[in-house]
Structure 1
Amino acid sequence: MKVGHTLRSARRLRTAGIAAVAATALVLTGCSSDADATEENSTQTTTIRIAPQPIADFAPIWLGMEKGFFTDQGLDIEIVEGGASSSAQIPLLLSGNADFAATTATAAIQAKSQNMDVTLVGGLTNFAASDDTDQSGLVVAKDSRLTGFRDLEGKTVAISGLKSVSEAVISAAVEKSGGSASKVSFIQAPMPNLGDLVATGGADAAFLIDPFLSKATGEGLKVLGHPFPLAAPGVPGTSLAASAPFVKANPDTIAKFRTALAKSVDFANQNPDLVKAALATNAKIPLDMLTNSKNPTFDAVIDPAALTAEIELLLEYGVLTESVDASSLLTPAK
């Protein structure tokens, strides 16, 4: 069934005439109408429509569907396409065309700052806290003379989205390294094309996430550095957003979803090879391209302090123009 709808039960039959018919049926069939209703209701599932991201961050949902973690909670997951980017997924929620969307925390923060009625139900990934675990990085040409973030002054950096958390964090990394972020130019291109821009001289550096990072380094580019561990360790990455009215109307469904999500995230963290297999199957990425790529670390719970740090960073570097109270963006536990 769809969320917000329940089956009619035989318990609702109140008139004497209908009760008599039910009693006759009981004699003829040997089955209780209450038992029928109970059995019927016990097999019902609630359909949850999720707008995905074709990246490794979404793997817990794919794996949770495959392993039956959502089914165990009486949830049927339906994948809804149509959100080409994180910001494009927010309208899917507000229009009622999706119940949840796997979007960046930044997109949800920006939507909230514009008085859109969205909330974060749970997490999927956080950005890495150390270089060793980071699946992202800034790449430059093999013969580039750039040696650190400070050298990006006067240079062009290609990223997958302007006014994004990547832009803010790279700017912060430049300043933490003694440079001026205002002297860095950012251009936008699709993630699969960013490495090519550096290789052909269209950009001095590019910010990539695996598997595109490992692909680029395998083709001769080199990693200049890891901006997230330096400037914003552990801030929320891909998260699950919903409309606030949907969450308010369906508290039991939200609780069940969170239970299944926690199991799915734990399973994904414990089975890195299955994460890559799920990405290859569902995002149509060749498995051999994923051989050297790093998986993200999955986390079903969004830390309010980390979310606040991200909001402050976005404000500082002009990605966000109005502040947001992190607690107002997070769906509280039931």
Structure 2
Amino acid sequence: MSTTARTWTSPRRRSRWLAPLLAAPLLLTACGGGGTSGQESGAGTGSPAEGAATGTGGTEGTTEVRVADTAGMPSAFLQYGVNEGYFEAEGLDVTVDVSIGGAAAVPAVVNGETQFAGSNTVSAILAASKGLPITIVAAGTRTVAEPAEDFARIVASSSSGIEEVSDLEGATIAVNTLENINDVVIMTLMEDAGADREQVNFAEMGFSDMLPAVANGQVDGALLIEPFVTMALDQGAVEVASPYTESRPDMMVGTYMTSEDYAAENPEVVEAFQRGVDATGQAIAEDPDAFREALPEVTTIEPDLAGQIHLPVWNASVDEETLQFLNERMVRYGLMDEEITVEDIVTPAAE
């Protein structure tokens, strides 16, 4: 079928342009507590936050750091931690820049334009495999053990004829960025179902663009995260699979990374950031309702929707088993020529 987004059909036919990328604003933007969108903050302009690399700046007694994170639950998590003071308690003045996907933030981290970035795990591994000097300092979003509680879904239009994973052969599925964790889990599920994983087409577009694209038949389906999952199902989309949990229960979907140079030169800042992530994750685990109540403040999610969505799990410790699982799959599916040593790209957690 035709589509108006960049597509990738298989590891051997990468990043094929069919037409210009859909242009529409992201539904979710961070707000309050110092969080700004990348456009508003100047992220990616080549001007790092003043004082961030030298350990100065910010409010008195704090170090100013800029963190790029993916729109949706990832950036909402980080902004919640900022608003609740968990990073300030560790001596950090954090500004959140919202991005479309973690892969786009890799150059900014390497160049020092942003000190940390949230990324899907595959994009972090892929960056390291290409020799980019990044290191993973903490885990981001994780999925859960039960598929029904996964914060992500593959959904399809009711007219597509797609009801299960094996039906994805020949279909065009929207993903937020190409060659990332979403490609890998979709191909994993197809392989597990006995389907030909090379016969699926991927179309790149923002999450908010996916809802109308599925509804009008521009794509056959999409891999969505919350709150877009609940919105799509409310609009009559067909639920096909829970891609993260069904690929690997408790999968570490997201990571936080920085450059090797920044980690080496600013170990105390890295440790403070790790503790801030850990404190935020523990707070949400202990009181998820408080996080739900805060979502309308840190995103544009309406209160009723915030009460319905499935939340990810956050645990700052890096899961090297997930890294190795994805490492192996990426080679199998042609995203990399050979495996990397995953231990080499992890900065140990603060004691």
Q: TM-score range by the shorter chain?
A: 0.7 to 0.9
**1:130-209 matched pairs, under 5 angstroms:** 130-142=146-158, 144-209=160-225
Residue by residue over 1:171-203, the C-alpha shift from the partner in whole angstroms, topping out at 9 and shown as x without a partner, is: 111111111111222222221122322222222
Shift of 1:126: 1.6
Is the radius of gyration larger for structure 1 or structure 2?
A: 1
- Measure the CA separation in 2 of the matches of 1:126 and 1:5: 30
Partner residue in 1 for 2:287: 271
Residue by residue over 1:78-131, the C-alpha shift from the partner in whole angstroms, topping out at 9 and shown as x without a partner, is: 3346x4431221111112111111121222111111111000111121233321
**1:23-172 matched pairs, under 5 angstroms:** 44-80=61-97, 83-142=99-158, 144-172=160-188
Give structure 1 stretches of 5+ with no counterpart.
Answer: 8-42
How many residues align structurally?
298
Whether the aligned pair in 1 keeps the contact of 2:139 and 2:316 (CA below 8 Å) is yes
Greater helix content: 1
- Measure the CA separation in 1 of the matches of 2:327 and 2:344: 12
- SS in structure 2 opposite 1:245? helix
Partner residue in 2 for 1:259: 275
Over aligned residues, Cα RMSD in angstroms?
A: 2.2
Change (3 A) 1:67 1:319: same
Residue by residue over 1:29-75, the C-alpha shift from the partner in whole angstroms, topping out at 9 and shown as x without a partner, is: xxxxxxxxxxxxxx622222212333112333222222222222222
Query: Could you state the TM-score of these two structures normalised by the residue count of structure 2?
Result: 0.78
- Measure the CA separation in 1 of the matches of 2:205 and 2:273: 34
Shift of 1:150: 1.1
Partner residue in 1 for 2:42: none
Q: Identity, % of aligned pairs?
A: 25
Whether the aligned pair in 1 keeps the contact of 2:79 and 2:96 (CA below 8 Å) is no
- Measure the CA separation in 2 of the matches of 1:273 and 1:266: 13
Deviation >6 Å, runs of 4+: none
Partner residue in 2 for 1:33: none
Of 282, 285, 294, 2:301 maps to: 285
Change (3 A) 1:147 1:70: closer
Of 244, 266, 280, 1:250 maps to: 266
- SS in structure 1 opposite 2:107? helix
Q: What amino acid does structure 2 have at the position aligned with 1:133?
A: E
Partner residue in 2 for 1:14: none
- Which stretch of structure 1 is more off in the superposition, 126-135 or 165-174? 126-135
Q: What amino acid does structure 1 have at the position aligned with 2:76?
A: A
